[in-house]
Structure 1
Amino acid sequence: MPVVKPFSTIAEMFDVITRHFIDSEKPAYLYKVAGVYKPLSYKELREMVELTACGLAALGLKKGDKVGIVSENRIEWIIVDFAMTTTGIIDVPVYPTLTYKQIEYIFNDAGVKATFVSNQVQLSKIEKIYDNVETLDKVIIFTEKGISAPGYLLSLRELMELGRDFKAKNPDYWINMIREVRPEDILTIIYTSGTTGEPKGVVLTHKNLVSNILSATQVVPMTPEDTFLSYLPFSHSFERMAGFYAAFACGGVVALAESIDTIAQNLLEVKPTVMTSVPRLFERLYNRIIKGVESGPALRKKIFYWALDVGKKYVQASKRGKVPAWLKSQYALADKLVFSKLKARTGGRIKFFVSGGAALAKELGEFFEALGIKIIEGYGLTETSPVLTVNRLDDYKFGTVGKPIPGVEIKIAEDGEILARGPNVMLGYYNNPKATAEVIDKDGWFHTGDIGYFDEDGFLVITDRKKHIFVSSGGKNIAPQPIESLLAQSNYIDQVVVIGEGKPFLTALIVPDFEAIKDYAKQNGISFQDDKELLHRDEIYRLFEREIKRINKELAQHEHIRNFRLLDKPFTIEDGELTPTLKVKRKVVEQKYKNLIEQMYEELGV
């Protein structure tokens, strides 16, 4: 079902949706308070947003001003975002994992006049940069526990009190501001994670986001009966559009996960029907399932693989439109013995997952489909608000990112780069006409930087990022992402980066799945004191040699991994090796492990 009511701006969306559900018993949001999920009604939400909006006006902030948000996902994020978008204030969301220096650069570039922060940790970053950001005046904090109190600081509660006084004197201010917001007005400036050079501010209008919401909800069914579990950062365009705005526009209930670490528990509490995610979650889930099966009794293992085989046959027969009676009964048994128990881990009500942010391995999609869990993959960029293509529930193909959504044009350039055009393409990069001209040509085509092609059925296939394509010293073009996806399916590999630019062959930096290799060590009588010692045991090195050898058989000769190193700690956002959507920053990793990489090639005479 498309959106509940038509709208042309995010401001209007908030107004019409909250009015529509104002007397509904169904909550708009669910969020944790003292360990228990608490509902927030549409009426409460509307009142809090209006008071916050009026509070911002009382501080002298007006349409066109830029205001930051430095916070983890929480109910206050939603309230302050709607307060700004309903009054024409441009919000500048910042990942809470950024350093104070990175925030300083963004705030100076955008000319931020005020900012919201979630807690003392984020406030301490702002305190360090306050004097260095000339435009910055007020700071509003969500939590009031144990905070220091510089003169420029006030709490969200205090801001709402200011709003209450302002509203008493200006009762029609907020509703008039909603009507003043135009589709062409700037909604937000989202700074890219800056894997190369300084981050760039992506300027998105109300029209950009609204066009994407309306198109995406035409092809991905969401209804007021749906419950979403949201854990990806709102600072990122994927969750902002899909898990936040689109879910709201369709009248769904959005439950906020406490963190990425609590998802397993939150799934059981919320029992969502739809969830947006990134492939990393499915990789972890897959490895956990397989590990549980492999370490279990022989009979359970036999039943699982029998059920998986039945599931795959059932899916293929369903696609052909003819499922024989014997297969139906076998599938019912497989569901009872295996699939229903696995689906219960997701809360038991999931209709589908939407995967984005990075490529989903074809094998993963097929594996979960056989279990009765459907994952539909889409593709897009911050610069395109973000969705360009998506697989439909009734028209999908794993290993592809689907077909263009309504209103979006896609074409492939001569060098294989994917180009996009449509109402969702950004205005440009803030204060950076040179960078804008490099990616949007005179005909309005946005150059994505991704390489891909349309298959015979019109599905878009992405091979890799243009800048990630290796050219080996032998002149071969090699896309590392598909190789990394294949390697990551090993039970023993948690994270991996393939190396090979300008080299005669490929090597890999591997972060092992420490739980899996500890289990292997115990089963094989390998003693060790800690993780580091375990990694240096010959038996573990040989285990990975065998894994690499097995995976190499599935790859072309020039894609073979010829050497590798095991790392004793995972890549993290905090160490700057991952983006907030868990994509590896390849250049950062290559620089950090430069000596190890050189050793791998020297060992083999390069």
Structure 2
Amino acid sequence: MTDDFPTLCASFQAVAAEGGDRLALAAPGHPGITWREYAEQVAGLAVGFAALGVRRGERVALLMGPRPEFSVADTALLHAGATPYSLQESEPVDRLVALLGVAGSRVLVTDARLLPLARDAAARMPLTLVSVDGPADGVLGLDDVRAAADPDADAAALWRAVTPDDIATLIFTSGTTGVPKAVQLSHRAISSSAADTFALAPVTRFGEVLSYLPLNHIAERFMSHYAGLTAGLTVHSVPDPATLYDEIVRVRPTRFFGVPRIYEKLVDRIRALLDADPSLDADGLRAAVGLDRAEYLGVATAPAAYEMLAYLHAVGFPVSDIWGMSEAVMCTLNPPGDIRLGTVGRFLPGMEGRIAEDGEVQVRGRHVFSGYVGDPDRTAEILGADGWVRTGDLGRIDDDYLTILGRKKELLITATGKNLMPAVIEGAVKSASPLIDHVVAIADGRRYVTALVALDEDQLRSFAAGRGLTGDFAELAASPEVRAEVDAAVRAGNERLAKPETVRGFAIADAPWPPGGDEVTTTAKLRRAEITTKYATTIERLYA
């Protein structure tokens, strides 16, 4: 396959010309934007941003959640030759300022809801603020950006000057410790990832997709925003995650992507439907939850329990486990029709993979990043001179299918010298009860395994209501009934584990662990270092 891939700008222009009056961008309560309108707005804003001094290659921050105006602003900045990237609203202002500093940004685009946070950042560093909801005191609106444009400016000349090697976005690596790393992804890396993904999981042009996860992660940007630019998918934004499952039913997307927790909650809904009507077949279930038109279902960003995926497959939901990383976008995918449970699929056409002597998965190909911003030393630590990326994941390749075994840095070594994969232990226990939201295995330097368990708040309330229990979260979490349920899950999980892996004690957190909080990232990855520090006293009690 050739390495000559179009820029995201060229892809968008082709899609918009073909899309015409089809719906391109939508959201609840929003009038919607057609492809023709989308292209017109992008052209006007691109020359306006350029007139305001946004230079080619300049990194421009976006601080807003999923909404049509995000797509318009991001795509317009791409057409101006800039590098738009997203900031997460849950970040404290000190970290936002640090990220803006790493990127060297002078312009921040936001909305009315997050304008106070944007102003806090602007009070600490020189920033030009633009609000997609209109001007405010000292803040430009999009109409102001359009008005700045030279009437004779050539918008087409701007986007045609963009090359496949220009940087399309930055993705900041997750975590809260150390100086943040800004991953640079080129137009080529993203466009080739899209082409190679669609080669293994064919896409119906001008289908529909939902955008509901944080856009500062490559998973959401790729699966919704960039899929819209490259395949013409109508992007239906879901500003309120609490309405996601209702929006799935309303939109009936042709492609759907979620993190494991989204599918775990979907399983709960499916089981409730079957309890109410055991005669429902696969087609009936898919229609009831709004996924009857979905040609592709994908899951990634955190380990998905084998048992959960097996259940979904059994009831007619063939979810494809996939694998990638900020530094290489999409790497593997289980092709629809050839899914192998327990694996993350085959390497995409533009990527190759190998297992190093120490068991680490390494990848190379056209999806690979262009280095970290201003950080050649840390770039060299992960990206070898031969182009192989050291992923930090442990795995094995069988028959061209990759299985991820865990993270190198998360490998637990007990006091007796046993090497344990925490994800294996955690998945076994977590999948044994819907009451459990997160499990953290503890064993490093210890004689045996224990675990910290965090509960799902909705499931806890349901569990309590069904048993006549009352109280706040902490009181319910400490109740004998809840402890008995978790104990049963631990025992069930232990039955599927080798003896050194079995959990011999556990503690239940007295508060939920929401995405973006102290314990869990916005894409549901555990912040292990922070957890072991925060719960150090609790952990010591488990070994007392």
Q: Same fold (TM over 0.5)?
A: yes
C-alpha spacing 1:363/1:493, structure 2 compared with 1 (3 Å): same
C-alpha spacing 1:220/1:347, structure 2 compared with 1 (3 Å): closer
Task: Tell me, in whole angstroms, the C-alpha distance in 2 between the residues paired with 1:186 and 1:514.
Answer: 41
What are the superposed Cα offsets for residues 411-444 of structure 1, whole Å, 9 maximum, x if unpaired?
Answer: 0000000001111111111111111111011211
Task: Tell me, in whole angstroms, the C-alpha distance in 2 between the residues paired with 1:544 and 1:367.
Answer: 21
Alignment equivalent of 1:12, drawn from 10, 13, 19 = 10
Equivalent AA in structure 2 for residue 32 of structure 1: P
C-alpha spacing 1:416/1:528, structure 2 compared with 1 (3 Å): same
Correspondence list, 1:343-358, <5 A: 343-358=287-302
C-alpha spacing 1:590/1:339, structure 2 compared with 1 (3 Å): farther
Note if 1:557 corresponds to 2:543: no
TM-fit CA distance, 1:99:
1.4
What are the superposed Cα offsets for residues 334-363 of structure 1, whole Å, 9 maximum, x if unpaired?
Answer: 51xx76145411253223311111122222
The range that moved more, 570-579 or 70-79, is: 570-579
C-alpha spacing 1:105/1:407, structure 2 compared with 1 (3 Å): same
The TM-score with structure 1 as length reference comes to 0.85
Q: Does structure 1 conserve the Cα–Cα contact (< 8 Å) formed by 2:270 and 2:285?
A: no
Correspondence list, 1:590-601, <5 A: 590-601=532-543
Task: Tell me, in whole angstroms, the C-alpha distance in 2 between the residues paired with 1:14 and 1:128.
Answer: 34
Task: Tell me, in whole angstroms, the C-alpha distance in 2 between the residues paired with 1:521 and 1:61.
Answer: 55
Task: Determine helix, strand or coil for the equivalent of 1:261.
Answer: helix
Task: Determine helix, strand or coil for the equivalent of 1:79.
Answer: helix
Equivalent AA in structure 2 for residue 208 of structure 1: A
Q: Does structure 2 conserve the Cα–Cα contact (< 8 Å) formed by 1:339 and 1:371?
A: no
Q: Give the corresponding residue for 1:491.
A: 434
C-alpha spacing 1:74/1:567, structure 2 compared with 1 (3 Å): same
TM-fit CA distance, 1:467:
0.8
Alignment equivalent of 1:189, drawn from 150, 170, 182 = 170
C-alpha spacing 1:98/1:519, structure 2 compared with 1 (3 Å): closer
Task: Tell me, in whole angstroms, the C-alpha distance in 1 between the residues paired with 2:136 and 2:228.
Answer: 37
Task: Determine helix, strand or coil for the equivalent of 2:98.
Answer: helix
Task: Determine helix, strand or coil for the equivalent of 2:122.
Answer: helix
Note if 1:219 corresponds to 2:200: yes
Task: Tell me, in whole angstroms, the C-alpha distance in 2 between the residues paired with 1:488 and 1:251.
Answer: 38
Correspondence list, 1:304-315, <5 A: 304=278
TM-fit CA distance, 1:486:
2.1
Q: Which runs of 5+ in 2 are unaligned?
A: none
TM-fit CA distance, 1:537:
2.8
Q: Give the corresponding residue for 1:392.
A: 335
Identity within the alignment, %: 30
Q: Give the corresponding residue for 2:322.
A: 378
Q: Does structure 1 conserve the Cα–Cα contact (< 8 Å) formed by 2:286 and 2:316?
A: no
Equivalent AA in structure 1 for residue 376 of structure 2: P
Equivalent AA in structure 1 for residue 436 of structure 2: I
Task: Tell me, in whole angstroms, the C-alpha distance in 2 between the residues paired with 1:113 and 1:377.
Answer: 39
Task: Tell me, in whole angstroms, the C-alpha distance in 2 between the residues paired with 1:29 and 1:523.
Answer: 42
Task: Determine helix, strand or coil for the equivalent of 2:185.
Answer: strand
Instruction: Say what the alpha-carbon RMSD is for the aligned residues.
Output: 2.2
Task: Determine helix, strand or coil for the equivalent of 1:451.
Answer: strand
What are the superposed Cα offsets for residues 154-187 of structure 1, whole Å, 9 maximum, x if unpaired?
Answer: 1223223334xx2x132x2x10011111111122
Task: Tell me, in whole angstroms, the C-alpha distance in 1 between the residues paired with 2:17 and 2:460.
Answer: 55
Task: Tell me, in whole angstroms, the C-alpha distance in 2 between the residues paired with 1:110 and 1:529.
Answer: 46
Task: Determine helix, strand or coil for the equivalent of 2:26.
Answer: strand
Alignment equivalent of 1:143, drawn from 109, 120, 133 = 133
Q: Give the corresponding residue for 1:425.
A: 368
What are the superposed Cα offsets for residues 173-215 of structure 1, whole Å, 9 maximum, x if unpaired?
Answer: x100111111111222221123542320001111111111111
The TM-score with structure 2 as length reference comes to 0.94
Note if 1:462 corresponds to 2:404: yes
Task: Determine helix, strand or coil for the equivalent of 1:353.
Answer: strand
Task: Tell me, in whole angstroms, the C-alpha distance in 2 between the residues paired with 1:181 and 1:199.
Answer: 27
Structure showing greater radius of gyration is 1
Task: Tell me, in whole angstroms, the C-alpha distance in 2 between the residues paired with 1:522 and 1:243.
Answer: 37
Correspondence list, 1:247-258, <5 A: 247-258=228-239
Alignment equivalent of 2:44, drawn from 34, 40, 51 = 51
C-alpha spacing 1:27/1:519, structure 2 compared with 1 (3 Å): closer
The range that moved more, 275-284 or 412-421, is: 275-284
Alignment equivalent of 2:58, drawn from 65, 68, 80 = 65
Task: Tell me, in whole angstroms, the C-alpha distance in 2 between the residues paired with 1:597 and 1:236.
Answer: 31
Q: Does structure 1 conserve the Cα–Cα contact (< 8 Å) formed by 2:456 and 2:512?
A: no
Task: Tell me, in whole angstroms, the C-alpha distance in 2 between the residues paired with 1:212 and 1:266.
Answer: 27
Equivalent AA in structure 2 for residue 138 of structure 1: T
Equivalent AA in structure 2 for residue 209 of structure 1: I
Equivalent AA in structure 2 for residue 577 of structure 1: E
Q: Give the corresponding residue for 1:79.
A: 72
Report which of the two has the higher share of helix: 1
Task: Tell me, in whole angstroms, the C-alpha distance in 2 between the residues paired with 1:235 and 1:243.
Answer: 12
Equivalent AA in structure 2 for residue 462 of structure 1: I
Note if 1:38 corresponds to 2:37: no
Task: Tell me, in whole angstroms, the C-alpha distance in 2 between the residues paired with 1:67 and 1:594.
Answer: 40
Task: Tell me, in whole angstroms, the C-alpha distance in 1 between the residues paired with 2:313 and 2:117.
Answer: 44
Equivalent AA in structure 2 for residue 265 of structure 1: D
Task: Tell me, in whole angstroms, the C-alpha distance in 1 between the residues paired with 2:285 and 2:333.
Answer: 29
Task: Determine helix, strand or coil for the equivalent of 2:27.
Answer: strand
C-alpha spacing 1:186/1:537, structure 2 compared with 1 (3 Å): closer
Q: Give the corresponding residue for 2:476.
A: 534
Task: Tell me, in whole angstroms, the C-alpha distance in 1 between the residues paired with 2:309 and 2:371.
Answer: 34
Equivalent AA in structure 2 for residue 40 of structure 1: I
